[in-house]
Structure 1
Amino acid sequence: MKARDLYVLVGVIGIVLMMILPLPTWLLDLLLIVNISAALMIILIAMNTQDALDFSIFPTLLLITTLFRLALNISTTRLILTEAHAGQVVQTFGSFVAGGNLVVGFVVFLILIIVQFLVITKGSERVAEVGARFTLDAMPGKQMSIDADLNSGLINEAEAKERRLKIQREADFYGAMDGASKFVKGDAIAGVIIVIINIIGGIILGMTYHNMSPTESLQKFTILTMGDGLVSQIPALLISTASGIIVTRAASEGNLAHDLSGQVLRYPKLLYIVAGTLAALGLFTPIGIWITLPMALVLVFASRRIQQSMSRREAEASVQEEEQQIEEVRSPESVMGLLTIDPIEFEFGYGLIPLADAQQGGDLLDRIIMIRRQCALELGMVVPVIRIRDNIQLKPNEYIIKIKGNIVARGELLLHHYLAMTPGYEDASVTGIPTTEPAFGLPALWVDEMMKERAELAGYTVVDPPSVVATHLTEVIKRHAHELLGRQETKALIDNIRESYPALVDELIPSVLSIGDVQKVLAKLLKEKISIRDLTTILETLADYGTYSKDPDVLTEYVRQALSRQITQQFLGTEQGLKVITVAPTVERRITESVQQSDHGTYLALDPVTSQTLLQKVTEQAGKLAQMGRQPILLVSPTIRMYLRQLLDRSMADIPVLSYSELEPSVEVQSVGVVNL
């Protein structure tokens, strides 16, 4: 056993002996001073503690100090009743508070007892009880949060164990505080009872045992009782206050002084209002300006100093942040950040800043949020975060769109103008600045506010600049969606499906196909603007046919056939029938005979002259269908669909190529053109 352990044991045994053995007055005076010093020490520690667990011994210390105080009460009561004297400390406290008037002294002492019992002790008890209850109720949620962080890899096993231990210690601490506060309440009640015993018993013993007159006995024992009560209740009041401070510091980030200076004095301008109120009280009430004016001047001076201090701290923080940024740039690790490429970037010239500045009425950020939602509904993929920045190297009204660092589209806007797109014929009364609509390449005019109404009456489609940008950005995302869907994004989509269909995902990945294989199929679908929102059907199809073939092209064809209802609805729209371009049987046969097999799969090996002629014929038939106001759709047999799609990718990627297996049997199909060599 160490020496300090022995000291604690001896101290507790000494407290018990104090209740039994009479103490000399000099030793009692020393112990009373020790009690006051301990109470001051405890409340100062409580005020400077940042976390309640930093003073976790407090519940036990509360019980020991309560026992020590009760032992002192018993010792002082013994001396008061037997010797009519309890040492210099008790006598001084009683005489000083009474101030020569027993009634005043007794009233002050009674108020102190009421404050101790009804306010501090009862409040601390309630706070400890509520704190213990809420801490225990929150334990399951905190444990689940730790388990979730551990499973996601945010923390390791050691950190999880430490956090679990802290939660357990918090529960134990608040539970112990709840129990210890009951002892403090009992100590306050015992103090009141001891006071009554000392007064009544002292008066009786003073007249019978000490041969005092009633008046002399009343004065003598009342002073001693008040001194004894003050010398015990003041430390009790301090410790009860410390108990309240400890259990009410749940949301604190520093000690009491730090919180007071950081939170109460956070708004120094409010001190001017307080100072003005005090000055008005001195001017317009009998209080007098000589009392309120000095206090008002002190508040004004304090507010001024606090503002200067806050400005100085902000300047120092700004300088420190700049120095830190400079150090980060100088460090070798800072280069790594330059290697990161944003998936999508939207850059614009300084003249278009009002589009993105919400303070100037710009709603570009809100429109981008809606674009991401629209793409999620139409394409079934989560569009990455779009990085928006201004670029002084661009023209003032120019903007560019980048995909993985490469420019894929650009355009120009005229603020305070509207883009009017022609309905198919020109109206001479509508004048403006000729331009081209950036999303679809249609001829258009930039018109001002006065010409806007005339253009609308003439049948023009009129849109504002933010709508032009939003439409262009949406079309670029749809056109390059297959480039934005990588393996990481595919894994996120699969993990989302796993929550509802775990058996499907576990069967498919990784035993049948890898995430890379699934990503290739999804990218091919997105490249032809086929939504992957019905990911369950896609994965079901891949699970069925993935055991027979690993070729992404072949698997994509199976998936497209499984999505026949979706594809039919996508291209049919609100029309009753589907007008398409077909391919002559001889051409299909020639394409089939030109398919070659290699180690990397199959490919179409047409001679250049035949390929060029075929592309020319498709272009002619597509132009005829476009003149009818219909979207050109090429309908072929399932065996050649993917090969013909590969042939058209470079020059006519916007023309959909469908197979008969991808259309619902109930759809009425009308051939309006035949591709023949």
Structure 2
Amino acid sequence: MKAKDLTVLLGVILIIIMLVIPLPGWLLSVLILTNISLALLVILVSMNTTDALQFSIFPSLLLLLTLFRLGLNVSTTRSILSEADAGGVVETFGTFVIGDNPLVGFVVFTILVIIQFLVITKGSERVSEVAARFTLDAMPGKQMSIDADLNAGMINEFQAKERREKVENEADFYGAMDGATKFVKGDAIAGIIIVLINIVFGLIIGMAQMGMGFGEAINTYMQLTVGDGLVSQIPALLISTATGIVVTRVASENNLGTNVTEQLLRYPKLLYIAAGTIFLLGLTPINFFLTLSISLILAIGGYMLERPVKDVEPDKLEEEQAESNQMKSPENVVGLLSMDPIEFEFGYALIPLADTSQGGDLLDRIVMIRRQLAIELGIVIPVVRIRDNIQLNPNEYRLKVKGNDVASGELILDHYLAMSPSVEDDSIEGIDTVEPAFGLPAKWISEELKDDAELSGYTVVDPPSVVSTHITEVIKKNAHMLLGRQETKQLIDHLKETYPILVEEVTPEPLSIGDVQKVLAKLLRESISIRNLPVIFETLADFGKMTSDTDLLTEYVRQSLASQITKQYVQSENSLKVVTISGEVESMISEHIHQTEHGSYLALDPESQQLIIRSVTEKIEQLSLQEETPILLCSPSIRMYVKQLLDRFFPNVVVLSYNELEPNLEVQSVGVVNVA
């Protein structure tokens, strides 16, 4: 065990000994001076800390010092009553304060006790109580702020952990200080009682047992009592003052002395006003020489403080000019141009969704969404920036992707969203609405109707699940917009760790990072996962030397992912229902494909386009009545042109080619697109 640890343990043991065993006067003097030294050290440390947590041991130290001081009181009281002697320090303090008049000395001591108990101790207790209450009340907001910064990517996990620990330590510290100040108050009360005991019982013992006269007894015991009270109350006063300083200290870069001098003397001209006021007081019967001296000191102090300011005025002006020029420089404006990839804003009524202190788990849900989409889509979704927006309606939320509004909705937190089955139940009453993720008819129902709605066949979900599902679907739909060249470079670097030769064969030659990004984005645009990057790069390595057309390369990659695409769309066991494209329509599209040096495009006349669109519309409506997912099947050579043609009218319709399906899959045609 270290020597420092042994010192503290021996100190605690000494306190216990003091309560039981009588101590000689010289040892009491040593312990009394030690007590005063410790009190001075505590108040000096409290004045030089810049943050309350820098003196986090103070509550426990306060308890030990209070117990030490009470042990000294017990020992000195024992010596005063039994031997009429408590050591040289107590006697010296008593003689210095009382002098020749015990009554005046006792009055001075009483005033000191009153100041200690009613002003310092009571004030420190109240401040500690208020600080503890406000610190505990502010904890949820601080935790929410830390979670929001972490989710926004402004801090990392380690920094968030440090901040959370600091918030928890602050709450523990101020809670402990609230309890520790009760010991200070009890110590002040005990000091007053001990003084009364020393005087009353000292007179009785001195006159009855030691044969002293009343005058001798009052002089002896009054002197020792006042001396004992002073050596006890002065450290107590210092400790109480230190308590007030610590709990009222605002976190700052400087200590208390520096802050006081800087802030109190910040305006030197005010010293001239104070000097003038004191000088005018000298015109009254108050001593003119005294007021003139003080006013001169204040005026000289103001001049001395103001002169350095004037001396550095040119430098200050140059510094301010430099700061002004810096604010006008393009570099500062550039910082304002950045925007968050994904933003989720909500009205004030939806704050409980993100406030963990109110049971909100939106932050945790978004973390799970990012993990889920990383597995499903194969990309790392950027951090979602979450913040409240008072410009929105209280129950409204809004999703932005790269600064553009892409989705919005409304939630009622104390209700459940019940999505309607095929036949609605009139007994289920609620607020009609539309499920935001898939556009299904729904109702907001109260919690009392939840069980009845589930029995009636409704799908009932809570508001957090509604918004998390909406966020998931919106991100899926816009995943291709979130994959830029920088994100593509990160995916390539990750793949290079395990497939270095494969990556080197694809990029930077024959394909650039931009070419790879376009291929991956086209796959994501049609909800094709890019998680299987090795297969994608194998295909790009095979065909990248033959063509640089990213549309054509995407078609080759899709065919390489046939197994993945088949599993994605097969509804039942080894069977897929599709709408096929007639040979006439395929020939019409093939004949109108124009090849250029920059790629190929479909140049179909408007009348033919309308005929194809009308036929597709009829087939989609028929499938919707049968609750079937519309999937169009065509030859590989025209697949991307059919998708481009239908994308403006039916963005959610899946268009597949024969080469994108596994050979052993059973394909059932439920309709044919034609122009007849």
**Counterpart residue number, 2:523:** 525
Contact map agreement 2:398 2:405 (CA 8 A) in 1: yes
**Counterpart residue number, 2:66:** 276
Contact map agreement 2:50 2:251 (CA 8 A) in 1: no
Amino acid at match of 2:539: T
Contact map agreement 2:395 2:412 (CA 8 A) in 1: yes
Contact map agreement 1:281 1:292 (CA 8 A) in 2: no
SS in 1 for 2:466: helix
**Counterpart residue number, 1:298:** 238
Seen in structure 2, the aligned counterparts of structure 1 residues 462 and 260 have a Cα distance that, compared at 3 Å, is closer
Seen in structure 2, the aligned counterparts of structure 1 residues 352 and 631 have a Cα distance that, compared at 3 Å, is same
Q: Does 1:369 align with 2:361?
A: no
Contact map agreement 2:411 2:463 (CA 8 A) in 1: yes
SS in 2 for 1:420: strand
Measured after TM superposition, the shift of residue 625 of structure 1 is 1.8
Seen in structure 2, the aligned counterparts of structure 1 residues 260 and 613 have a Cα distance that, compared at 3 Å, is closer
SS in 1 for 2:509: coil
User: Which of 55, 66, 69 is equivalent to 1:265?
Assistant: 55
In 2, the alpha carbon distance for the partners of 1:421 and 1:119 equals 71
Seen in structure 2, the aligned counterparts of structure 1 residues 277 and 403 have a Cα distance that, compared at 3 Å, is same
Contact map agreement 2:50 2:252 (CA 8 A) in 1: no
After superposition, what is the alpha-carbon deviation per residue over 1:290-349, rounded to whole angstroms, capped at 9, x for unaligned? 3655433332222323444546769979x99xx9xx989955443222211211111111
Mean alpha-carbon deviation: is it higher for 262-271 or for 437-446? 262-271
Measured after TM superposition, the shift of residue 260 of structure 1 is 12
**Counterpart residue number, 2:481:** 483
**Counterpart residue number, 1:547:** 545
SS in 1 for 2:668: strand
Superposed, 1:233-632 pairs within 5 Å as: 265-282=55-72, 290=228, 293-310=233-250, 330=327, 332=329, 333-632=331-630
Seen in structure 2, the aligned counterparts of structure 1 residues 431 and 536 have a Cα distance that, compared at 3 Å, is same
Measured after TM superposition, the shift of residue 544 of structure 1 is 0.5
In 2, the alpha carbon distance for the partners of 1:455 and 1:425 equals 12
**Counterpart residue number, 2:187:** none
In 2, the alpha carbon distance for the partners of 1:119 and 1:406 equals 65
- Superposition RMSD on alpha carbons, in Å? 3.0
In 2, the alpha carbon distance for the partners of 1:306 and 1:532 equals 58
Superposed, 1:24-63 pairs within 5 Å as: none
User: Which of 645, 648, 661 is equivalent to 2:646?
Assistant: 648
Contact map agreement 2:643 2:655 (CA 8 A) in 1: yes
Measured after TM superposition, the shift of residue 282 of structure 1 is 4.5
In 2, the alpha carbon distance for the partners of 1:306 and 1:265 equals 8
In 2, the alpha carbon distance for the partners of 1:427 and 1:612 equals 41
Question: How many corresponding residue pairs?
Answer: 420
**Structure 2 residue ranges without an equivalent (≥5):** 5-46, 79-190, 192-227, 267-319
Superposed, 1:162-177 pairs within 5 Å as: none
Seen in structure 2, the aligned counterparts of structure 1 residues 434 and 513 have a Cα distance that, compared at 3 Å, is same
Seen in structure 2, the aligned counterparts of structure 1 residues 616 and 284 have a Cα distance that, compared at 3 Å, is farther
Amino acid at match of 2:381: V
Contact map agreement 1:271 1:303 (CA 8 A) in 2: no
Contact map agreement 1:401 1:407 (CA 8 A) in 2: yes
SS in 1 for 2:608: helix
After superposition, what is the alpha-carbon deviation per residue over 1:522-561, rounded to whole angstroms, capped at 9, x for unaligned? 0000000000000110011001100001001100000000
SS in 2 for 1:589: helix
Seen in structure 2, the aligned counterparts of structure 1 residues 634 and 493 have a Cα distance that, compared at 3 Å, is same
Superposed, 1:162-241 pairs within 5 Å as: none
Measured after TM superposition, the shift of residue 278 of structure 1 is 3.0
SS in 2 for 1:610: helix
In 2, the alpha carbon distance for the partners of 1:391 and 1:403 equals 16
**Structure 1 residue ranges without an equivalent (≥5):** 1-117, 121-256
Amino acid at match of 2:411: L
In 2, the alpha carbon distance for the partners of 1:674 and 1:637 equals 14
Measured after TM superposition, the shift of residue 119 of structure 1 is 7.6
Amino acid at match of 1:278: F
In 2, the alpha carbon distance for the partners of 1:432 and 1:621 equals 35
In 2, the alpha carbon distance for the partners of 1:584 and 1:674 equals 6
SS in 2 for 1:384: coil
Measured after TM superposition, the shift of residue 598 of structure 1 is 2.2
Contact map agreement 2:415 2:447 (CA 8 A) in 1: yes
SS in 2 for 1:370: helix
Seen in structure 2, the aligned counterparts of structure 1 residues 263 and 588 have a Cα distance that, compared at 3 Å, is closer
Measured after TM superposition, the shift of residue 630 of structure 1 is 1.8
Amino acid at match of 1:525: L
In 2, the alpha carbon distance for the partners of 1:407 and 1:386 equals 14
SS in 2 for 1:399: strand
Seen in structure 2, the aligned counterparts of structure 1 residues 424 and 283 have a Cα distance that, compared at 3 Å, is farther
Seen in structure 2, the aligned counterparts of structure 1 residues 502 and 303 have a Cα distance that, compared at 3 Å, is same
Measured after TM superposition, the shift of residue 574 of structure 1 is 4.8
In 2, the alpha carbon distance for the partners of 1:347 and 1:544 equals 45
After superposition, what is the alpha-carbon deviation per residue over 1:213-269, rounded to whole angstroms, capped at 9, x for unaligned? xxxxxxxxxxxxxxxxxxxxxxxxxxxxxxxxxxxxxxxxxxxx9899987634544
After superposition, what is the alpha-carbon deviation per residue over 1:645-672, rounded to whole angstroms, capped at 9, x for unaligned? 1101111110110011000011111001
Seen in structure 2, the aligned counterparts of structure 1 residues 451 and 283 have a Cα distance that, compared at 3 Å, is farther
Q: Which TM-score applies when normalising by structure 2?
A: 0.58
Seen in structure 2, the aligned counterparts of structure 1 residues 450 and 263 have a Cα distance that, compared at 3 Å, is closer
Amino acid at match of 2:525: K
Measured after TM superposition, the shift of residue 613 of structure 1 is 1.4
Seen in structure 2, the aligned counterparts of structure 1 residues 259 and 573 have a Cα distance that, compared at 3 Å, is farther
Seen in structure 2, the aligned counterparts of structure 1 residues 630 and 267 have a Cα distance that, compared at 3 Å, is same
Amino acid at match of 1:452: K
Seen in structure 2, the aligned counterparts of structure 1 residues 601 and 432 have a Cα distance that, compared at 3 Å, is same
Mean alpha-carbon deviation: is it higher for 523-532 or for 278-287? 278-287
% identical aligned pairs: 54
After superposition, what is the alpha-carbon deviation per residue over 1:392-442, rounded to whole angstroms, capped at 9, x for unaligned? 111111111111111111111111011100112211111100001111111
After superposition, what is the alpha-carbon deviation per residue over 1:595-625, rounded to whole angstroms, capped at 9, x for unaligned? 1112321111111111111111112112222
Contact map agreement 1:272 1:300 (CA 8 A) in 2: no
Contact map agreement 1:268 1:307 (CA 8 A) in 2: no
Seen in structure 2, the aligned counterparts of structure 1 residues 329 and 362 have a Cα distance that, compared at 3 Å, is farther
Contact map agreement 1:271 1:300 (CA 8 A) in 2: no
After superposition, what is the alpha-carbon deviation per residue over 1:364-416, rounded to whole angstroms, capped at 9, x for unaligned? 11111111111101100011111111111111111111111111111111110
Amino acid at match of 2:626: M
SS in 1 for 2:473: helix
In 2, the alpha carbon distance for the partners of 1:269 and 1:567 equals 66
